[in-house]
Structure 1
């Protein structure tokens, strides 16, 4: 007795051949396709911008600065003093802003000038040491602790900088543990 495969294989082949023949007949009956060039795609944003520009509602965008202009602007910014950059005369707030913007060079300058490390922002109660710990800035943390930053000061949620550093910045947590005394870490005077 023949197997199912022996019976089905010729039938499937015949069916496929019949389907292919029908497809070829249908394609032969179809009119030839015209090869018209497609119109270019419409940039809706550019069209809308041109309409607004014609009404005088927008100006032509300024060209992007060149590499030399960017470098000159960067050099000018880097040469500025912390007071010019952070728009405040309070050295403690300048130190906080320099820490927040991760400007190690400004932090060092301000600490050398004797800026207090105790400034805390109103929103979270973060000190510069909290900010440095949250951002994973181990060298900045070391500079702040060397300058006398309190490692036991708590933010508004009751977190000391070490607790914030433990949430992903282990190098900073190790630096705080190395530099702080056990009494400071326990919150003792």
Structure 2
């Protein structure tokens, strides 16, 4: 240790040498900072590219049909056109709790949907091959009952004596009828008799 101290005592650092050493230390630190910035920028760009690839599918979700994600809807101009697109008779409803201001016809995968709208109120009919629940409604209702309509058992769900959803099957097709506003049982009986009478 003593020899080291003696040797160090003979070393003389001139101002020019000190300036060179400090300059190189600063350059080394600047290079490290530049690398860190470049790495952070590359990470940000990678996240941005990934977001650009993923966001379109997030912002335009597929429709949930019976728990299965189906392609986005194909619009039709009428029930007849929807029936042609679907390959089976589309559901139709003449008895409604309001006068519809707008009717939309959609094919979602192999599911035919007709929605009637008046302001904020909607009634939505769905029909698809098979016997799965195609309503897309996963709410928990306080009441569940079975109504016999035209010889077909229909499961209706709601709260407080009012009904919001009905589902049924004829063995070949599944059906659902949903109202955005809970309705009285007699209104539902009329609507269900009408749609089932149409072959729905």
Relative contact order higher in (CA < 8 Å, ≥ 6 apart) = 2
TM-score of the aligned structures, taking structure 1 as reference length:
0.26
* Greater share of strand: 2
* Greater share of helix: 1
